[in-house]
Chain A
Amino acid sequence: MSNVPSDLKYTKTHEWLRTLPDGTLEVGITDHAQHALGDLVFVEVPEVGRKLSVGEPFAVVESVKAASDVYSPVAGEVTAGNAALGSEPEAINSDAYGKGWLMRLRPSAGGAAPSLLSAAEYEKLIAEEGD
């Protein structure tokens, strides 16, 4: 079964979000998503300073099988892209919620609250989708 940590928020499109102590957000793809993709071989992360709107593709993750866009769960400005994934894309497979993070961003003030899922809601979603 997929690992779905209870302290994170999720999207219907299989991204996770973590709120860091400084108020910025860390974003990656879920364990379920990395499993569905298979071995990751190439990752393109966003430039620092890039402004993203909700649902905008901000990264590309490529497995041996296919390329997939990753969508920004919230609007904001990128404060870091995980450059280490350039030489170690497989970190997403081995540690999707840790070393496999894709970007950090500062959410824009006053933006509409995005619709995010709790861990329980996300678990329900992937159970319905099937493995």
Chain B
Amino acid sequence: MGILRPPFIESGVPVPRRTPLFELHQKLGARMVDFGGWDMPLQYGSQIAEHHAVRRSAGIFDVSHMCVVDLEGARARAFLLRLLANDVGKLKAPGKALYGCMLNETAGVIDDLIAYFLDESSFRAVVNAGTRDKDLAWMRQHAAQFGLEIRERSDLTMLAVQGPEARARVASLLSAAGSTAALALEPFFGREIDGWFIARTGYTGEDGFEIMLPAREAQRLWQALTAGGVVPCGLGARDTLRLEAGMNLYGNDMDESTHPFESGLGWTVALDPPGRDFIGRAALEAIRARGAERKLVGLLLSDRGVLRAHQKVLLPEGGSGEITSGTFSPTLERSIALARVPATARASVQVDIRGKLHEARIVRPPFVRHGKALVD
């Protein structure tokens, strides 16, 4: 039989980098894969069991391959107002986070990222591992005129603890004051607590925290949480969880050849206020004026089988598109996908799986949120 490479894994640099938790993953018997140039755990045991642990209780992920960048200087906000298609002017309360895209002049997506507003002279961005070098180069190129310091925080290890029990599990390991502060965090807020940066964010569609902390403390936190029953989870489960949650994966669902309006990311584009001159704005306004020709939709496979990236999608009235991410949904026990299709697509399509056509229904993502199916 032919064992194929996992479809969501792009080949990276020849010598993969390792996170501070690498030896721990090996001791746990993780199967490691190259992801964005990093040697990362794909799974520790059953990927489906890891997925269910996050939907039902709590799981922990090493996401230290993500790149944390601190943007420091008096004009940090002005810089991000220019850099991002979403509007950091919305960030009023310290600690508040914003998800958005960094576009090029033609509105192609350079990367998606989360930006945290720490104070007027300090923002923190978290960008993808595979795009790290070009992101940093792009930021530095545009930061010069804002007198900004761009500081990569490779000293920080990042863990994601996700699931309905995740916050309580983390809080139980903090000081009394830290625990209260962590549990008081609103969704999409982060702050320093007990010397760690704790944010109520994630990539799974469940409640939880993403925690940035020194490497040695990250190892101790990992061990304390897993000793208490939090399940180690790999990138495999991370991919099925994010896809059920209807979240895009950079490189699969959007890249520099696609714009936000055809990538399900229109909600992250802030054209108001009209005077905000961000990179890619003119191109986006032109696209909006003529109407986007394609859109990103959710697909639910009616038959048995598994939708995969790059399978062809056929519209009943003619025209075609392509699946950008597809998988088997452990929660729905059916296959789901994101697909880029002509803007005219409605209701149902057919997908070519190994030469046979299968019916699929167009649905609005997310497919699953907070442990519950949102499609039927």
A interface with B by C-beta (< 8 Å): 13-15, 29, 33, 36-39, 41-42, 44, 60-62, 64-71, 86, 93
Residue of B nearest to A13 (CB): B1
Are B47 and A38 in touch, CB under 8 angstroms?
Answer: yes
Selected A-B contacts with CB under 8 Å, 26 pairs: A14-B1, A14-B3, A29-B1, A36-B3, A37-B3, A38-B43, A38-B47, A38-B236, A39-B46, A39-B47, A39-B48, A41-B328, A42-B304, A42-B328, A42-B335, A60-B354, A64-B47, A64-B236, A65-B7, A65-B47, A66-B3, A67-B308, A69-B1, A69-B2, A86-B304, A93-B46
Within 8 A of A (CB), among B5-25: 5-7
User: Which 4 pairs across A and B sit closest by C-beta, in order of nearness?
Assistant: A41-B328, A66-B4, A65-B6, A70-B1
Interface SS of chain B: helix, strand, loop or mixed? Answer: loop
Interface of chain B residues 55 through 77 with chain A (CB within 8 A): none
Is B327 close to A, CB under 8 A?
yes
Cα separation A131 to B305 with both chains bound (whole Å)? 27
Within 8 A of A (CB), among B332-354: 335, 354
A70 vs B4: C-alpha distance when bound (angstroms): 12
Q: Check: B366 CB closer than 8 A to any chain A CB.
A: no
Q: Is B224 an interface residue (CB 8 A)?
A: no
Could you tell me the distance in whole angstroms from the C-beta of B342 to the nearest C-beta in chain A?
A: 26
Which residues of chain B from 232 to 264 have any CB-CB distance to chain A below 8 Å in the complex?
236, 240
Confirm or deny: B306 has a beta carbon within 8 angstroms of a beta carbon on chain A.
yes
Asked if residues B6 and A66 are in contact (CB atoms below 8 Å), the reply is yes
Closest to A71 in B: B1
Contact (A68, B240) CB under 8 Å given A38-B43, A41-B306, A86-B304: no
Residue of B nearest to A60 (CB): B354
Within 8 Å by CB of B1, from A15, A39, A44, lies A15
Interface footprint category on B: 20 to 34
Report the separation of the CA atoms of residues A32 and B148 in the bound assembly, to the nearest whole angstrom. Answer: 53
A62 to B7, CA, bound (A): 12
Q: Give the docked Cα–Cα distance between A86 and B305 (Å).
A: 10
Smallest Cβ-Cβ distance to A15: which chain B residue: B1
Closest to A102 in B: B1
Q: Is B202 an interface residue (CB 8 A)?
A: no
Alpha-carbon distance A92/B282, docked complex (angstroms): 54
State the Cβ distance, A45 to closest chain B Cβ, in Å. Answer: 12
Is B330 located at the chain interface by the 8 A CB criterion? yes
A65 to B48, CA, bound (A): 11
The residue that B328 contacts in the complex, of A29, A64, A86, with Cβ under 8 A, is: A64
Q: How far is the CA of A93 from the CA of B304 in the complex (A)?
A: 19
**Bound-complex Cα distance A27 to B42 (A):** 29
Measured CA separation A37–B306 after assembly (Å): 14
B6: chain A residues within 8 A (beta carbon)? 65-66
Q: What residues of A have a CB within 8 angstroms of the CB of B236 in the complex? A: 38, 64-65
Question: Within 8 Å CB of B308, what residues of A?
Answer: 66-67
* Complex contacts, A61 vs chain B, CB 8 Å: 1
Q: Bound complex: CA of A37 vs CA of B47, how far in Å?
A: 11
Q: Which residues of B contact A71 (CB under 8 A)?
A: 1-2
Say whether A66 contacts B48, CB under 8 Å. no
Give the residues in chain B near A37, CB-CB below 8 Å. 3
Name the B residues within 8 Å of A66 (CB-CB): 3-7, 308
- Asked if A64 and B5 make an inter-chain contact with CB atoms under 8 angstroms apart, the answer reads no
Question: What's the Cα separation between A93 and B43 when bound, in Å?
Answer: 15
Residues of B within 8 A of A69 (CB): 1-2
